[in-house]
């Protein structure tokens, strides 16, 4: 099992709720032939300096991740919904034990 973790910071002046449509678009995403579980949300503001939002996406293996990562709709969501409102988006993938 591969876990993809994504953490992002919103641009100054972008309200936290403005990222919710992008997060929902990823929650609703279907990728042909790939099963995945995606959970994400906006930071609760419990600690200064935290990122604005985070999500995790669990996929069965590296091939499933690569298919998910290359999916045209997934990339459209990144490009059109996240990129305009984010200063940085970082990600990491690791194998779950």
83: Cα separation from own chain's centroid: 12
Please report the domains of the chain, with CATH numbers, ordered by start residue.
2-95 (3.30.70.100)
pLDDT tens readout for residues 7-64: 999 999 999 999 999 999 999 999 999 999 999 999 999 999 999 999 999 999 999 9
Q: In Å, what is the CA distance from 83 to each residue of 7, 27, 35, 56, 77?
A: 13, 17, 25, 18, 9
Q: What is the pTM of this model?
A: 0.92
End-to-end CA distance of the chain: 8
């Amino acid at each position: 099992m591969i876990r993809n973790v994504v953490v992002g910071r919103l641009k100054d002046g972008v309200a936290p709720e403005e990222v919710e449509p992008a997060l929902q678009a990823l929650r609703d995403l279907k990728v042909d032939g790939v099963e995945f579980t995606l959970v994400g949300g906006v930071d609760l503001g419990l600690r200064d300096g935290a990122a604005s939002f985070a999500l995790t996406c669990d996929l069965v293996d590296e091939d499933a991740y690569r298919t998910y990562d290359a999916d045209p709709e997934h990339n459209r969501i990144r490009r059109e919904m996240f990129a305009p409102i984010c200063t940085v988006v970082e990600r990491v993938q690791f194998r779950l034990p």
